[in-house]
Amino acid sequence: MPSMLPIKRRKLSNDVLDRLVSAITSAEFPPGSQMPSERELMLRLDVGRPVVREAMQKLEQMGLLRISHGERARVVNPTPNDVVEQVSGAMVMMLATGSRALDDLKEARLLMETGMVRIATRRATGADLDRLAQAHRNLAAARANTERFVACDMAFHCLIAEISGNQLFAAVTRGMLDWMSRFKRELVSVRGADRITIAEHEKIYRAIAAGDADGAAAAMAEHLLRANSLYSQLLKEGPQAHDTASREGN
């Protein structure tokens, strides 16, 4: 009978973790404040030092505490960037070992950035458009320098995310680009594809500047789908595909 299933035992450190998370989120220990010492927590919660340390380490992994040697732990207020950074190492590992991880990431990026550019188009101010135009000029000027070109390419996409006004979009966009760059650098630095990239970015910019949200989304989708197809070709065929793509882009 379902009602007679065995009762699952919880680790004591999980109970302590729940108590501490509740104390932090209820502002008993607000951001910037120091946590009680290990000894004080042991007395207040009636548990041993290993239990307290395990719970505190989990809080640090969650991004809620900053623990420095010789100092009491301090409560921090995690930002979207902090949250994305927390999972960056695991994401790069997943991309390297998961058979579908890169395809999933490309699909997620396509859906997110096409929606994001619609919002950015509606919210863009004159100053935002000036910054985006400068970002595109920077991209074109960096054509002869692969490393700088990649950085300017990423900066263009990150700026659109910033213009959207959504901090999560901005953080996740930076994270996705960083993960792809750290996983396979050649996937974001194909020689010869720069001319196409510059033209596609200009098309996105012009749609945003014209207030055409549908056009901006379509241009973004075209850009990312073309890039995704190239990524798949490079991964499938290896270095030879990279050389072919370079020649075709010239």
Q: What is the pLDDT of residues 18-36, one digit of tens each?
A: 999 999 999 999 999 999 9
Q: Which residues pair with 85 in a beta bridge?
A: none
Q: In this predicted model, which residue has the larger pLDDT, 10 or 94?
A: 94
Give mean pLDDT, residues 216-220: 98
**Local structure of 208: helix, strand or coil:** helix
Percentage of the chain modeled with pLDDT above 90: 54
How many CA atoms within 13 Å lie on the side-chain side of 57?
Answer: 7
Q: Quickly tell me which residue has 């991209």 as its tokens.
A: 139
Phi then psi for residue 34, to 5 deg, are -90, 145
Q: Is the per-residue pLDDT at 171 higher than 80?
A: yes
pLDDT at 238: 53
CA gap 157, 111 in Å, rounded: 14
Give mean pLDDT, residues 66-93: 86
| Range ranked top by mean pLDDT from 63-77, 85-99, 230-244 | 63-77
CATH code, residues 2-75: 1.10.10.10
Query: Confidence class of residue 90 from pLDDT cuts 50, 70 and 90?
Result: confident
Query: Confidence class of residue 9 from pLDDT cuts 50, 70 and 90?
Result: low
Phi then psi for residue 81, to 5 deg, are -65, -40
Q: Is the per-residue pLDDT at 105 higher than 90?
A: no
The torsion angle over the Cα atoms of residues 146, 148, 151 and 155, rounded to 10 degrees, is -130
pLDDT at 63: 85
Look up the pTM and report it.
0.72
Helix (H) or strand (E) holding 66: strand 65-66
Query: Confidence class of residue 236 from pLDDT cuts 50, 70 and 90?
Result: low
CA distances from residue 226 to 18, 41, 167, 245 in whole angstroms, order as listed: 46, 56, 27, 12
Model pLDDT for residues 42-73, shown as the tens digit of each residue: 999 999 999 999 999 999 988 899 998 888 99
Domain limits of the chain? 2-75, 81-249
CATH of 81-249, picked from 1.20.120.530, 1.20.120.640, 3.40.50.1820, 1.10.10.1100, is 1.20.120.530
Same CATH topology for 2-75 and 81-249? no
pLDDT at 184: 56
Q: Is the per-residue pLDDT at 189 higher than 60?
A: no
